[in-house]
Structure 1
């Protein structure tokens, strides 16, 4: 059983989580709870849980602060964070710290069960790795490889070369990152299979590294064809296990003293695994790696303009609101084109995508009657963003989720584009609507769409939009809102400008209109048959 610590300042949340889940059924046991950040730190040191489920916002010491403090002494600890809908920015920051997941309050039972099943896989893999490293006869051999890779003491390389018999003309490091379902026997079995194919045939030496298996290879992999051939061979050797595999190769070197350089290059390439576009061993000289990618995650690639995430979110919202799968796919394509070159790193790209999704879906929630379905899909979508292995996986998953959301809202409307446009304007008069943006969403030339709109409605787009806004403004004034509030609600930031527009279309100022309505409604009808 894996040990769980629950942390939330609300007793009902702690009690609810303890009782609604059959923890043992999924391999977990709640061993304690805490009502504050300070108490959580104390209980963590006392209980040493395998998993901590923690509220992101608590008085005194926040969940973020607890996570940072725990990570100082327990860098590999596992966290699931609980967050209210309005706290996404906090949740996003926590996810950037490397937490394992994000649960939206109120917690859905199926959602937390899914997270527990996934984390059971991760924890099992970690235990399996520890057991493998502790019990295998090849431990000494691996230590020698590690010395070649990491030991900078003078003379270490030549000593290991004699010990391992590494009198080769070339040396190359190939790293294989492996993702798979839990299986206590699988890890050792995969490694034995590679040892039989490489160590026993004097082709190289297999070793473990932090996220998979490494190969110190005697054979050189220097072209795309040889990289693809090696990947196919490895996939064939490991094909009996259900795994996702990603590989990277460092540059071949001529001495054992330079092997660490090849390892660093391979590790840097593997750090960009998220951007891999095909299944093969990616070579050290393909694309930008290392420090370039790291810096790009902060400042963007040189010459790449910073993308406007709010603008992308508006376009995605428009596409979702008109229930158009084609429009959603076009916006997703634009997100990839603008966000990926600027951010580059996996974490930055995922955060940017999540930000756009959240901004768009927040607007959708505010204007849609299917609020519950949208909220559920939003929570699942954001979690899934951070669980994707590659950008390609992210694009496929996102398209599936957003198309499912469209269907839940009664999507796939077959109405004409112009009818959809008119309905959209009527639903969203307060948005910063522009013909150019709508033309992009509907995949039309803006000039051509403007002519179609004029022919269909008899009015230019901006005139039609103004009239819709004035009708909405009159409704809001009738409800008692103040003039400046109405102005903002119907899309005019400048009250004086709104005043002029209203008078032009209605024939009197907003204040005069409001006063006239008030007087009309306050008049009492004359009495019938009353005595004088």
Structure 2
């Protein structure tokens, strides 16, 4: 739509023209008036009209003087001049400056509308030409940028970017999983930066790319840019973004582009809601020296089982974090980490499923591990599953630490279970935890453990197993030690106990 400014010192003429002409038929959406040249100059600066209808003879600044001054700052505006018969020769001088029409007073409306018809056609053609020119220029900018991203820094690309006159080059990549969302956001960004020659927007390998001379990016920190993008274009789909370091030569762009590509490829290991840069730190820092790795997976799994049975949510969370960090050191890929956590949680559920049937309901949540976009979200999801496991397997004794210890002994008497291990994982002093256990049960921790082992060894001795095999199965590595313990608590040796029970049958 177009705009018109009517300048005439006679109120009846300027107001009459503004009210009587059907301007909307000529795609004119805004009509304003001015009573003299000075007012017209001020309104032109604000309105930037497509057409000015100007009276030749006005007090103060004449119409010709007004047109001369307007032409110096706005060569594209069109003029239609108004004149009486007495100013005809005067008007011819105005026509020599280039005007679209000349109307004698009193004005015949049909004559003005004839001029407007011609102007409408002209404006439409000019608009179409500008749109086509802008479109071709935008497409060429995109082609040059895409060619550069592919590593084609040839003479044509170099010359194109040289003509831009940019002092710096910086790229912002936004990755979206939805193709429709990608296309929509591209159009929104192009519209937003339409009048900014320091920005080029394109898509490359299913990513939005914003190239800038640095002004849009250098003036803000990455977190501010992220918030700005969120306000401008609230994303209905999750997205990740990476910002390259600024460079002064276009030949350096393919290199920083590869760095951004690597950041986006590893976005799973970074916090959400940020723009990744070369200074961004992943949640787990990958170490190349495998000698620095922590405890074995078996040790960590054993410790995790202890903590789940003891109901220590913080310890479970810490162990899950440690295991994730360990796996990242061994194989830092999203697929591998998710696979390990799915295996971990599935193993834990299977361990207790026979005793707690409700745990089968968690398998659907286990499959959702695959959908987690970042390691942080994955850990939150995994811990929520483990909390549910803890609630299921220890509903009655969740607040009684000694009962939890007894439960633990009865389930793991055959493993290398020690008071020191429990004290470490429960964050209690060893002496305090031992005294707590003795006060409640009347027995020392090791004594209680020995008695549980001996009771279970009695069952095994009645099976077709050798004595040393029984000792190993209940947690004694030394068969002589098992002999001494058995005799202490039963009064006879394991072999004698087996014979006695055989006779009793």
TM-score (normalised: structure 2): 0.64
Bigger CA drift: 310-319 or 334-343? 334-343
Matches within 5 A, 1:3-82: none
Q: State the 1:485 CA deviation.
A: 4.4
Q: Secondary structure at the match of 1:214?
A: strand
Q: State the 1:474 CA deviation.
A: 1.0
Change (3 A) 1:225 1:358: farther
| C-alpha distance in structure 2 between counterparts of 1:301 and 1:142, whole Å | 44
- Contact 1:250/1:264, CA 8 A, preserved across alignment: no
Bigger CA drift: 322-331 or 431-440? 322-331
| C-alpha distance in structure 2 between counterparts of 1:187 and 1:152, whole Å | 24
Aligned to 1:234: 229
Change (3 A) 1:479 1:288: closer
Per-residue CA deviation, residues 475-528 of structure 1 (Å, 9 max, x unaligned), is 23345555454333322344454344323332333232122111111xxxxxxx
- Contact 1:324/1:412, CA 8 A, preserved across alignment: no
Change (3 A) 1:218 1:457: same
| C-alpha distance in structure 2 between counterparts of 1:503 and 1:438, whole Å | 28
Aligned to 1:503: 487
- Contact 2:476/2:482, CA 8 A, preserved across alignment: yes
Q: Secondary structure at the match of 1:386?
A: helix
Aligned to 2:427: 443
Per-residue CA deviation, residues 132-183 of structure 1 (Å, 9 max, x unaligned), is xxxx997765443232122356536415536xx543111111112235xx6x
Matches within 5 A, 1:250-261: 250-261=244-255
Equivalent in 183, 187, 202 of residue 182 of structure 2: 187
| C-alpha distance in structure 2 between counterparts of 1:331 and 1:250, whole Å | 35
Per-residue CA deviation, residues 25-83 of structure 1 (Å, 9 max, x unaligned), is xxxxxxxxxxxxxxxxxxxxxxxxxxxxxxxxxxxxxxxxxxxxxxxxxxxxxxxxxxx
Aligned to 1:321: 309
| C-alpha distance in structure 1 between counterparts of 2:435 and 2:153, whole Å | 75
Q: State the 1:313 CA deviation.
A: 1.0
Per-residue CA deviation, residues 258-287 of structure 1 (Å, 9 max, x unaligned), is 111221122222233223235221221334
Q: Secondary structure at the match of 1:252?
A: coil
Bigger CA drift: 397-406 or 472-481? 472-481
Matches within 5 A, 1:42-441: 142-152=142-152, 154-155=154-155, 157-161=157-161, 166-179=164-177, 185-210=180-205, 212-219=207-214, 226-239=221-234, 241-287=235-281, 296=286, 300=288, 304-335=292-323, 345-354=333-342, 356-365=344-353, 368-370=354-356, 372-375=357-360, 377-378=362-363, 380-381=365-366, 383-409=367-393, 411=395, 413-441=397-425
| C-alpha distance in structure 2 between counterparts of 1:221 and 1:451, whole Å | 66
| C-alpha distance in structure 1 between counterparts of 2:453 and 2:335, whole Å | 41
TM-score (normalised: structure 1): 0.61
Q: Secondary structure at the match of 1:369?
A: coil
| C-alpha distance in structure 1 between counterparts of 2:139 and 2:472, whole Å | 69
Q: Secondary structure at the match of 1:206?
A: strand
Q: Which runs of 5+ in 2 are unaligned?
A: 1-134
- Contact 2:268/2:334, CA 8 A, preserved across alignment: yes
Q: State the 1:222 CA deviation.
A: 7.1
Aligned to 2:450: 466
| C-alpha distance in structure 1 between counterparts of 2:236 and 2:304, whole Å | 36
Change (3 A) 1:168 1:176: same
| C-alpha distance in structure 2 between counterparts of 1:205 and 1:412, whole Å | 64
Q: Secondary structure at the match of 2:414?
A: coil
| C-alpha distance in structure 1 between counterparts of 2:427 and 2:206, whole Å | 44
Per-residue CA deviation, residues 229-269 of structure 1 (Å, 9 max, x unaligned), is 21112112221x42222221111111221111221122222
Q: Secondary structure at the match of 2:238?
A: strand
Aligned length: 370
Q: Secondary structure at the match of 2:239?
A: strand
- Contact 1:324/1:413, CA 8 A, preserved across alignment: no
Change (3 A) 1:351 1:395: same
| C-alpha distance in structure 1 between counterparts of 2:489 and 2:308, whole Å | 31
Aligned to 1:131: none
Q: Which runs of 5+ in 1 are unaligned?
A: 1-135, 522-532
- Contact 1:388/1:394, CA 8 A, preserved across alignment: yes
| C-alpha distance in structure 2 between counterparts of 1:466 and 1:250, whole Å | 63
Per-residue CA deviation, residues 179-217 of structure 1 (Å, 9 max, x unaligned), is 5xx6x7433211111122235423422222345322222
Per-residue CA deviation, residues 281-318 of structure 1 (Å, 9 max, x unaligned), is 122133479xx97xx4xx64577324422122112212
| C-alpha distance in structure 2 between counterparts of 1:480 and 1:224, whole Å | 80
